[in-house]
Homo-oligomer: A and B are copies of this chain.
Amino acid sequence: MTAEITKIADALHNSPFMRACRREDVPFTPVWLMRQAGRYMPEYRAVRASMDFLELCKTPSMAAEVTVTAAERLGVDAAIIFADILLIIEPMGLALEFSKGEGPVIHNPVRTAADVERLREVEEIAALQFVFDAIRETRRALRPNLPLIGFAGAPFTLASYIVEGGASKNYVHTKSLMYNDSGAWHAMMSLISRALIKYLNAQIDEGAQAVQLFDSWVGSLSPDDYRQYVLPHTRSVIAGTKPGVPVLHFGTGTASLLELMREAGGDVIGVDWRVRLDEAWKRVGHDVAVMGNLDPVALFANQDHLRAQARSILQQADGRPGHIFNLGHGILPETPVENVIALVDMVHEMSQES
């Protein structure tokens, strides 16, 4: 490495976000926000006016642009590559579409063992080259000491879309397959997991400093079902990512799954607002970092209230190294931009007090 490259690598390695992932001391609590590049932001809406969601995901220069713009506009401590958790299912042979207003639709959902048989093993990850190109372009455009997070959907959350054919309220098809043909279920989860390992490692190779696994819908499961049908697969994905690169393991509605998520792995456990951060951290153990956990709707409150809510979370973290501030889920479309910007400032400012 040249001296210049070494210097950049050092700066990244010692950025507050990366230090917090490793539970090292930080000058202030690092903060980033899930879905920080999204519809609440005028710059993002302007880009989307000229191209649809999937097209944006597949145009590296534009994906890089919205990623960098959001990080710079907000002053957050990490960028996250603009992409979608469902991109990985296309090379499995699933017909994905984002219909207006309805969200993702999969035209050939998996319902039976025969459907599972038809899923394609993702041998080559090159089908997602546009994601890797976006990561490379983003890395080039980003402030050199700002970490870039790669990501993927966790096996259960991906499986739920694949089986339901889209978003779901009760996960009837998903759980029916799980309960009634556990062989087919585990085969599907294994196939997904193998693809995820390749996908995450390729993101790391292309320049992501950390990766997040989104298990957004795992809170629909009982702890026993999670342990039996999900945990081994999530564990294999996390165990399969390149060592030395922090894994953030996130879910919502996980108040009774936290210990099991910890068991599955991750350097940072993401928690939502339904559980207090101090209680969540105690339960997952202080030997792991945590991320969270402001209710995204708190961003609709007046700034006094918002400040009080953010302060409460910082107080619960108690200055312990290993807290990354975030929301408990993604920023909602109608969120006032000025409150998002204010929140980032508040976290920086309040975490330096005392």
Contacts and interface: CB of A to CB of B under 8 A. Distances in A.
Interface of A: 170-172, 175-176, 179-180, 219-225, 253, 255-257, 273-276, 279, 295-298, 300-302, 305, 312, 332, 334
A275 B244 CA distance: 34
A176 B222 contact: no
Contact of A224 (B176, B180, B276): B276
B180 A305 contact: yes
Contacts of A302: 179-180
A305 B185 CA distance: 15
Contacts of A296: 170
A320 to B, nearest CB: 19
A300 to B, nearest CB: 5
Nearest to A280: B256
Nearest to A277: B222
8 contacts: A172-B297, A176-B301, A179-B301, A220-B274, A222-B274, A222-B276, A223-B275, A257-B274
A273 B279 CA distance: 21
A258 to B, nearest CB: 10
A193 to B, nearest CB: 23
A109 to B, nearest CB: 16
Nearest to A175: B297
B298 A334 contact: no
Q: Which 6 A-B pairs have the closest CB atoms?
A: A179-B301, A255-B255, A255-B256, A175-B297, A256-B275, A222-B273
A190 to B, nearest CB: 21
B253 A171 contact: no
A139 B153 CA distance: 52
A179 B332 contact: no
Contacts of A300: 172, 175-176, 179-180
Contact of A175 (B175, B222, B253, B295): B295
B224 A253 contact: no
A191 to B, nearest CB: 23
Given A224-B312, A296-B170, A301 B256 contact: no
A301 B228 CA distance: 16
Nearest to A328: B222
A175 B334 CA distance: 14
A253 B273 CA distance: 12
Given A256-B255, A297-B170, A274 B176 contact: no
Given A253-B253, A297-B172, A305 B274 contact: no
Given A179-B300, A221-B274, 9 more contacts: A170-B332, A172-B300, A172-B332, A175-B295, A175-B298, A176-B297, A180-B305, A219-B274, A255-B274
Contacts of A275: 223, 255-256
B301 A222 contact: no
